[in-house]
Amino acid sequence: MEKSNGNKATQIFWSIVSFLRRCLFLVISVRPIPHHIAFIMDGNRRYAKKRKLKEGDGHRVGFLALMSMLKFCYELGVRYVTIYAFSIDNFKRDPEEVQSLMDLIQEKIEGLIKEESIVNRYGIKVHFIGNLKLLSEPVRLAAERAMEATANNSRGVLSICIAYTSTDEIVHAVQESCEEKSDEISVMNASGAGYGLLQLGGNEKEERENIVKLTDIEKHMYMTVAPDPDILIRTSGETRLSNFLLWQSAHCYLYSPSVLWPEIGFRHFTWAILSFQRSYFYLDRKRKQS
């Protein structure tokens, strides 16, 4: 009986906390709300050492922090969330650590498909962003299943950057753009129409320089599934982007709380939103000027 009463009291407490959080979000929503928040989840290993946890347990606690951040984002009405889950550079770590991380990632990806998962509760479509060919087959297949299972969700988008670096994304986009233009030129030449490089009155040099345009590259970026981020949050007090969304983050607000990723909480999230709102009109003006 006492245990049952204790559980009921706990449920009531968390219901009140959830209600108060939603009320605060309603107040915050009076001012501009970010459409897209990106996270660099820095500090999982340091947290494990600090708390004398087993290797890998820091990442498990970090996953709980991620679930909280996702819940806050979607409750506030943020439509797009992107997380930096695993860099291509991380493959250089100790093979045992890499395998342990891959096992954990596969476990958590498979959890996303479950009916009670946060992505299904909030109607979130999941995308895996990066050079997925570098992943092991079990992880890659799990990612494909998760994308297929959530394809019809439409209330929000979660982009998980795995086997990703921004430089790899840019090189991929340039290669795809060049190949696409090369195929177009071949088709035009085969039809006898040419590619318009020697149009009457045209400048051949200028036309050649503009064969591949900025828009061509942008449409081949991995991150075409989401607009550029409004806020980029990196924990541990670091202000480095670590090869993450370099192309997309020119005009976003960078927030770097000193806490390690597993320690991030509601107050850090709320402060990031308020700081963004204070800087919103300046950032918006710079974005329009570019």
Same domain, residue pair 271 and 217:
no
User: Same domain for 142 and 216?
Assistant: no
pLDDT digits (tens, 9 = 90+) for 59-87: 999 999 999 999 999 999 999 999 999 99
In a domain, residue 143? The reply is yes
Q: What was the pLDDT predicted at 7?
A: 75
> Is position 48 within any domain?
yes
* Token couple for 195: 């590619």
In this structure, the chain runs to a length of 290
Annotated active-site residue in 42, 89, 168, 284: 42
Residue 82 is assigned to a structural domain of this protein: yes
Residue 116 sits in a domain whose CATH number is 3.40.1180.10
Report if residue 266 sits inside a domain: yes
Cα–Cα dist 32/171, whole Å: 34
pLDDT tens-place string over residues 110-143: 998 887 789 999 999 999 999 999 999 999 999 9
Residue 13 in domain: no
pLDDT digit string (tens) for 211-247? 888 899 999 999 999 999 999 999 999 999 999 999 9
3 state SS of 254: strand
DSSP lists the bridge partners of residue 36 as 80
Q: In terms of domains, do 215 and 232 share one?
A: no
Which pLDDT belongs to residue 201? 46
- The range of the structural domain enclosing residue 180 comes to 166-189+208-221
Is 152 found in the same domain as 100? Answer: yes
The count of structural domains within the chain is 2
Alpha helical stretches, state H, the chain: 2-28, 44-50, 57-76, 95-112, 118-121, 137-149, 166-190, 204-209, 214-218, 266-289
Is 42 a catalytic site residue? yes
